[in-house]
Amino acid sequence: MESAEQNYFVGFHVHYYIFTDHPEEVPDVKLGQGHQLTVMTVGSSNRWQEMTLRRMERLEKLIESRLVNEADYVFSLDVDSKFYARWGVETLGRLVGAIHPGYFKTQREHLPYERRPESQAFIPYSDGDYYYGGAVLGGAVKDVYEVAKTCREQLDIDAAKSIEAAWQEESHLNKYFLYNKPSKLLSPEYLWQAHLPQPKEVKIIRSCHVIKNYAAVRPNP
């Protein structure tokens, strides 16, 4: 939150919604003018995969209940990230995705799409372009709503058949973007991972997942 206040849409009206199963641990951060914070309490789970599987459902409901009358644009971002440089209006668009930092040099046939035909997230080896990171999804409220609603519906269909896509909601997001291209595509500088070396192609890292002790923060491997 502190790094966001220094870099994320500074000078604009921003309403942060933090989803957490430990609301008492959200720190008290001094917010800039026009910025506000709402903590949304969610249930815990004994599987981290279950938490990420519910991401689209929570985004869909948040838009329906609040954002449709409150905001012009929305970004869904991973909470375990830190901002290191400006993130501003250059990221706005009708529908915004980001290239996953782990696969921006990977050949299409080796991208980690869901490959089982029985899943709604299925992408054959002959299809695909980029591998989009699930940690960044944004755009105009109505367009992000369509993404969230569609992915949630596809996730529900898979769940009814006891299928869990390879990378949960990220797999379904990649399927959506295959046929509904984002109007703006962000480079991995907006979605970096701290354990990766910085290649010469990435001149600046704007947002990055922090290194975590997964054994301590995840309930299962």
pLDDT at 45: 73
pTM score? 0.93
Q: Is residue 11 part of a domain?
A: no
Q: Is residue 35 part of a domain?
A: no
The 3-state DSSP class for residue 179 equals: helix
pLDDT at 47: 67
| Structural domain total, the chain | 1
Residue from 60, 170, 189, 201 carrying the catalytic annotation? 170
Q: Is residue 131 part of a domain?
A: yes
One pLDDT digit (tens) per residue for the chain, 221 residues: 999 999 999 999 999 999 999 999 998 999 999 999 999 999 877 766 777 678 899 999 999 999 999 999 999 999 999 999 999 999 999 999 999 999 999 999 999 999 999 999 999 999 999 999 999 999 999 999 999 999 999 999 999 999 999 999 999 999 999 999 999 999 999 999 999 999 999 999 999 999 877 777 777 67
Contact 188, 100 (CB under 8 A): yes
CB-based contacts of 194, cutoff 8 Å, min separation 6: 208, 209, 210, 211
Instruction: Identify the CATH number of the domain in which residue 157 sits.
Output: 3.90.550.10
| 164 given a catalytic annotation | no
Read off the amino acid at residue 42: V
Nearest CA-CA partner of 172 in 57, 7, 26, 34: 57
Range(s) of the domain holding residue 59: 47-217
Give the dihedral sign, CA 58/193/191/1: positive
Q: Is residue 158 part of a domain?
A: yes
Residues 99/14/55/192 CA torsion (nearest 10 deg)? 30
